[in-house]
Amino acid sequence: MRPKLRETWEVRKPLVRSAGGVVSSQHYLASEAGARVLAEGGNAVDAAVTAGLALGTVEPWMSGLGGCGQMIVRLAREPRAWSVDFGLVASRSLDPADYPLEEGRGSDLFHWPAVEGDRNVMGPLSIAVPTYAAGVAAALERFGTRSWAECLAPAIELAERGLDADWYATLKIASTAAHLARDEEARRVFLPGGFPPCSEWSGPPPRLRLGKLAQTLRRLGEAGPRDFYEGAIARSLVADARRLGARIEPEDLAGVEVRIRESLAVGYAGATVRAAPGLTGGPSLERTLGLLSERRAAAAHAWPGSESDLAVAYADALSTAYAERLAAAGHDAEAAMPACTTHLSVVDRDGNLVALTQTLLSLFGSRVMFPGTGVLMNNGVMWFDPRPGRPNSIAAGRRPMSNMCPVVVERSGGERFALGASGGRRIMPAVMQLVSFLTDLGLDLEAAFHAPRIDASGADFVTVDPRFAPEVAAALGERHVVEVWPNAVYPAMYACPNAAGALPDGDRVGAAYVMSPWALAAPVEPK
């Protein structure tokens, strides 16, 4: 079996170490902004909020004020971890009749049945109520030490400077240019002259002004985060929503709530995995690790066996968990459940850990930018099953099932790691395998991040990295349909993880997604 795509380079990113802490994210500027906060005495939550807000300006197609997120906070002084849930919610004025089904499958990440005009995937009707600002502000107030204005300052500076459209930014914009062109403001900002921005062969990249985002961020810093939900920014959002045909009303914004509760604590292979409860990837991760635990017990001393045996065990457990998830999970099933995107992980000098996943869902979310604020809006309606009568069906005021899966892993030797990933349904399989690499195989963070992975995330096939020995794909092929794809810069066939950890000797370590040219684990440099 041959891969469909081949790349001939080998990319490596060494583990980063610093006694003062590490911030690992999908953009170097955000990582560096967070590391500066740690260097100035801020804690892991301060750094995570600062880096997260900055990410919305330097990779605006992944996350930002128009989106949502999930955070796990593990304070070194406490024996438990906290989940900060700021997932999306559908507008109270949403009408399921606006999403009639048609033949075929939808055009995006989730393999749902198709909706007429893809209106659940892109455009104004795909937008759910944004919760991001409320979420990070609540985390900062509960666990942080710095002010909201201080944490916003780097994002404001970056937004005022504008986005450098290097080759990677050009790739991201070009990949969805046809959809961006449908929205007037998105087209104006990201497709100057009607085309994706592109630098001259030997010249600096062009710089994009992100509409009115800088002004909006400045207003947020001055007026506080509730302005996004009940002040001047809220009024602008509602005005743009009504003009464009999106379902966002004043009461939707004013009613946004953030839930802070104790995380799941999942035992696996002598380790404890702290994960988000509820309508996230956390319960499915718990189920998958439970299935692997059963396999470990049955295998006894032979676990984990050969590379092929382990890959088959991963694929079988993931396939079972995803079949159950897609059949039963959703708003109505939350109480019965076991209690595309960017990710950043932070560890500070004291060993506090934060895993923060934040998203607009699809690349550029709904592909709609509200002109009054410069905010790119999510396409959260895509997270709902468009078929009526399902636990996760589209309905007004509901929270959809999400794939975010930030975790903290605590190994028996005292090491603790915050980790997570971006990549839609591929997130949980990546997190699960990294947990297994750190526990079953005893790998350090650097080796775990460079190891090949499979993906089995509810599609009709299992994706296999060609760096595996050929017998791995052959063994998987006996039980699953197999597609062989490399872990490449583009297309992204696997999730994109980032991690930071605290070691018992006082070292703080970080690892960034290997195949991204932007992802960076930024250490606190010694003075």
**Residue type at 99 in one-letter notation:** Y
Annotated catalytic residue, options 280, 341, 357, 373: 341
- Judge if the upstream peptide bond of residue 371 is cis by omega within 30 degrees of 0: no
Contacts (Cβ under 8 Å, ≥6 apart) of 285: 266, 273, 275, 405, 407, 428, 431, 432, 435
Q: Rounded CA gap, 419 and 405, in Å?
A: 9
> Is the distance from CB of 407 to CB of 420 less than 8 angstroms?
yes
CA-closest candidate to residue 407, choices 524, 289, 309: 289
Q: Using the 8-state DSSP alphabet, how is residue 47 labeled?
A: H
Q: Is the separation of the CB atoms in 295 and 430 below 8 Å? A: no
Q: Which residue type occupies 463?
A: T
Buried b (16+ CB within 10 A) or exposed e, 293-321: eebbeeeeeebbeeebbbbbbbbbbbbeb
| CB-count burial class (<10 Å; 0-12, 13-18, 19+) for 443 | middle
What's the DSSP call for residue 525? P
State which H helix or E strand residue 82 sits in.
Answer: strand 82-86
Tokens of 527: 């003075």
Q: Pick from 413, 437, 454: which is nearest to 511 by CA?
A: 437
Indicate the burial class of 460 (C-beta count within 10 angstroms; 0-12, 13-18, 19 or more).
exposed
d(CA 421, CA 515): 13
Spatial separation of the C-alpha atoms in residues 527 and 436, rounded to whole Å:
37
Residue 240, CB-side half-sphere exposure with 13 Å CA sphere: 22
Rounded Cα distance between 292 and 55, Å, is 35
341 is catalytic: yes
Q: Which residues form the catalytic set?
A: 341
